[in-house]
Structure 1
Amino acid sequence: MRVAVPDLITPADGLGRVHFVGIGGAGLSAIARIMLARGITVSGSDAVDSPTLEALRNAGARVSLGHEAANVESVDTVVVSTAVHDDNPEYVEAVRRGLVVLPRSAALASVMAGRRVVAVAGTHGKTTTTSLLTVALQAAGADPTYAIGGDLAETGTNADEGAGDLFVAEADESDGAFLVYEPYAAVVTNVEADHLDQWGTEEAYRAAFDEFAGRVDPDGFLVCIVDDPGARRLADVARATGLRVVRVGEGDADLRVSDLAFEGTTSSFTVVDDGTELGRVTLRIPGRHYVLDAAAALATGLRLGFSFDDLRRGLEGFGGTRRRMELKGEAAQVCVYDSYAHHPAEIAGDLAAARAVAGTGRVVVAYQPHLVSRTRLFGVAMGEALGAADEVVVLDVYLAREEADPAVTGALVADAVPLPAERVAFVPDFDAVPAEVVRRARPGDLVVTLGAGTVTQLGPRILALLADRDG
């Protein structure tokens, strides 16, 4: 459901008692955590219980399971997730009562008020880059407030209130939320067509990023990873308006990374900034795409005035973000990872990282396509990207906010995988997937579950079956 953004954003301390419909989601839970830390009275509801809801209760929120009109009787402002339908009883009651109703984007803008905002956008890599920047700034003593689409390994949460003036936020383009913010500085990791159910065309999607860059403070700056053609085009557009642009990449860039090396779960690279070699950085996460994300975070921190050594210390200590090449465990000499990749470019990046970690072992992937609209457009490209694995199990499409389409299933993806037929399986029965993966896995292999939906639940089940097999 789309809720209109008000013309004037009220700072969070002027919203009164705030209720979140769908409080367990990554976006709303982050805002709720920050409001709780500021002493704002917070309540919320969600369909099912979760560790996130329990953490919010422990932080002081009143959280209800299920959606009932009575949940908004004693509140002043209602924040609504985009996943909520317009017949939700809490939304209906809020409108009937004439309460202030805000979308997620406006609620996040309300907690940003009065802070120097650094917004991180892009088709892929937003969560990792926001996380890397947050940890780097913390190591440099900045103590930023942050709101991220995933939990930091260092803190176990996706948001926190900091004492400094900086606010680091993941800026989501999927529903146009990033066009509500007015950041001092921004980072764009890449611009590849996605979320065309929202934007309609690739041209409109690119134009939205142009508009986002236009919202950056004229006294601030924009960081773009220009190895990506879409971000390189954006950098040129933004620079032509007079905005200060910092180009990051392996090639022609203001901050350049070189001598990349990957060994096991680590990535290392040399940093050259404006022609001066600053030193070498070693990350505890594998993959070229993560090197570029870290370089963008580093470029941002340097332009904010922090030292290379302090920022490097934070980057090198970064322990990862949940669901971004996250190690779930090892059993029967098989390592199991989980990652959020759901776009062809993300699949390719994570499988390249998995290959480096696997060494002489094989890569076995269980992939769940996300959204009918995305699979219709990119299903063949998803399958082609999965060809970088040795064994592939494709699940059916995770529907999320859409209706099923019999013509668009996981079979569309599986049929496009460029591997021998015996090394690819389409398994529409979710509960049958763990056994199929374990049947294919050998000692020394790396298993990775990929996708933005329920596929993340499979890791523990795969590990349990592997352990039983080993026993």
Structure 2
Amino acid sequence: MKFHLIGAGGVGMVAVAELLASRGQTVTGSDATASANTQRLESIGVTIFIGQDAGNVDPDAAVVISSAIKPANPELAIARARGQRILHRSEALALAATGLDFIAVAGAHGKTTTSGMLAVALTEAGLDPSYAVGSTLPGGASGAKLGGGDVFVAEADESDGSFLNYTPAVAIVTNIEPDHLDHYGTEEAFQQAFVDFAACRVRGGLLIGCGDDEGAAALLQAAEGRRWSYGTGNQVPGTDAHIKITITGPGTATLTFQPNRGPHASATVRLAVPGDHMLLNAASAWATGIELGVDPETMARALGTFRGTGRRFEKRGTKNSIDVYDDYAHHPTEVEATIRATAQQSEGRILVVFQPHLYSRTQNFAREFAKALDLADDVIVTGVYGAREEPVEGVDGFLITDQMVRGEFVEDMHEAARVIASRAQPGDLIVTMGAGSVTKLGPEILDLL
């Protein structure tokens, strides 16, 4: 079968392209600009067109799109005019996973890291899984692979409801906290999407959810079928088992599997990535390993080999005894978790350049962003990265800094880089933070230092 991917260099799309190509399908793709992702696809035999043109689309190909592709896109328009099959990225991913035990990792936060943990740990444990993670893995390895085992691990994106296209054998929900209200409209609709996601499981499928999170705990109580909770607190009522987390030090915890029936099991996990939120992610991955038949001690050791995913507290370099990191955090809860985790491993000051992502999110959560960012020692907030949204009058980074103690609004991110570099002192740690173009600032700040 032939597939043509519009926007093939995107993080989510490149994984689909690699997996389809690995399965022997004929794959072409296009993107507005060349990138490391498009070059990697070309290296495995995918034909890539730079620029969007109707002539790029084979009339016999199924056309794969993400929610970011507009109806006016010439390649999408010609495909629709011809009556070609149009697949959302998630539908194509489900096709690539046909015949495998599908592990879907969902949640407002932590799904990239958790799916990355599973990909690395299950590989280390010898299961040779297939996976599609929305970022690179340790060492810059691709987030997509077609393995030889029976398991497929996928990051399940709730932002546009596309995670409802999956039928997982194991569904992980790390947390449910209102976001993407530009798509869902209301918090109730956002929460309902997770209820629908849990109902997509195969017959006998397992739901694993974080009992420490109010939204995920409510889902566990409402859902039907097999359910396990995990967390530092008590078991969620009505669930079949609980994975108890007892934190014993930075990045270290004893995990205890406590089923209602059957033998208990425990193991100690020691992570190479900082933050108590990472231990929560690891507990859900450990529980998944138990469900798949991996020895608990083996799974715990395998999780210790995980070194993080791209753009999740990723070190960009050191200059004059000042460390520079980049992080994808773009929701208040993620921002707070990243800053708290940074404080655990840095004795110096924490300086942040934060780029808000989406006008709607900035407007809805300005106060929460302000509170989270004030945990750092010095913060520059830039203009909003609009992504798929048009500018909204009166909505910019000043909405956040106006409610902060230590925040300063600097519209241009390159000027923000100059300001933060001028304030840094030996021993400090600088984090560029956000889901947009702020990720490009790391090398620039290092040069300025």
Verify same fold: TM over 0.5: yes
Deviations 1:91-114 (A, max 9, x none): 111112221111112111211221
- Per-residue deviation, 1:174: 0.4
Name the residue aligned to 1:381.
Answer: 368
Write the distance in 2 (CA, Å) between the matches of 1:35 and 1:217: 23
SS of alignment partner, residue 274 of structure 1: strand
Write the distance in 1 (CA, Å) between the matches of 2:90 and 2:256: 36
Aligned with 2:254 (options 239, 245, 270): 270
Write the distance in 1 (CA, Å) between the matches of 2:161 and 2:248: 35
Query: In the alignment, is the contact (CA less than 8 A) between 1:154 and 1:318 conserved in 2?
Result: no
Aligned with 2:108 (options 118, 123, 145): 123
Deviations 1:357-400 (A, max 9, x none): 212x1100110100011111011211111010000000110000
- Per-residue deviation, 1:279: 2.6
- Per-residue deviation, 1:277: 5.8
Deviations 1:435-463 (A, max 9, x none): 11111211101111110000110111111
SS of alignment partner, residue 127 of structure 1: helix
Aligned with 1:108 (options 80, 93, 112): 93
Query: In the alignment, is the contact (CA less than 8 A) between 1:19 and 1:75 conserved in 2?
Result: no
After TM superposition, the structure 1 = structure 2 runs for residues 399-438 of structure 1, keeping only pairs within 5 Å, are 399-417=386-404, 419=405, 423-438=406-421
Residue 31 in structure 1 maps to residue 16 in structure 2: yes
Write the distance in 1 (CA, Å) between the matches of 2:325 and 2:154: 26
Write the distance in 1 (CA, Å) between the matches of 2:60 and 2:338: 43
Write the distance in 2 (CA, Å) between the matches of 1:218 and 1:80: 29
- Per-residue deviation, 1:154: 4.9
Which residue type is aligned with residue 403 of structure 2?
Answer: A
Deviations 1:289-315 (A, max 9, x none): 111001110011111111112212221
Deviating beyond 2 angstroms after TM superposition, the runs of 4 or more aligned structure 1 residues are: none
Once the two structures are overlaid, the 10-residue window that deviates more, 17-26 or 154-163, is 154-163
SS of alignment partner, residue 391 of structure 2: coil
Residue 160 in structure 1 maps to residue 129 in structure 2: no
Name the residue aligned to 2:78.
Answer: 93
Aligned with 2:307 (options 309, 313, 319): 319
- Per-residue deviation, 1:75: 4.1
SS of alignment partner, residue 99 of structure 2: coil
Residue 69 in structure 1 maps to residue 49 in structure 2: no
SS of alignment partner, residue 218 of structure 2: helix
Write the distance in 1 (CA, Å) between the matches of 2:140 and 2:323: 24
Which residue type is aligned with residue 307 of structure 1?
Answer: D
Determine what percentage of the aligned residue pairs are the same residue.
44
Name the residue aligned to 1:182.
Answer: 167
Once the two structures are overlaid, the 10-residue window that deviates more, 69-78 or 46-55, is 69-78
Residue 439 in structure 1 maps to residue 422 in structure 2: yes
Write the distance in 2 (CA, Å) between the matches of 1:259 and 1:173: 30
Name the residue aligned to 1:217.
Answer: 202
Which residue type is aligned with residue 309 of structure 1?
Answer: E
Structure 2: tracts of 5 or more residues without a match? 236-241
TM-score between both structures, scaled by the size of structure 2: 0.96
Residue 252 in structure 1 maps to residue 234 in structure 2: yes
Deviations 1:385-427 (A, max 9, x none): 101000000011000000011211011011122x2xxx42111
**Two-structure CA RMSD over aligned residues (Å):** 1.2
- Per-residue deviation, 1:430: 2.1
SS of alignment partner, residue 138 of structure 2: coil
Count of residues paired in the alignment = 439
SS of alignment partner, residue 229 of structure 2: strand
TM-score between both structures, scaled by the size of structure 1: 0.91
Write the distance in 1 (CA, Å) between the matches of 2:326 and 2:419: 17
Aligned with 1:282 (options 256, 260, 270): 270
SS of alignment partner, residue 273 of structure 1: strand
Which residue type is aligned with residue 416 of structure 2?
Answer: V
Which residue type is aligned with residue 457 of structure 1?
Answer: K
Write the distance in 2 (CA, Å) between the matches of 1:406 and 1:206: 29
Write the distance in 2 (CA, Å) between the matches of 1:384 and 1:424: 10
SS of alignment partner, residue 394 of structure 2: coil
Query: In the alignment, is the contact (CA less than 8 A) between 2:52 and 2:74 conserved in 1?
Result: yes
Write the distance in 2 (CA, Å) between the matches of 1:100 and 1:144: 29
Query: In the alignment, is the contact (CA less than 8 A) between 2:59 and 2:82 conserved in 1?
Result: no
Name the residue aligned to 2:327.
Answer: 339
Deviations 1:171-226 (A, max 9, x none): 00000011111111110000000001111111111111011111112312111011
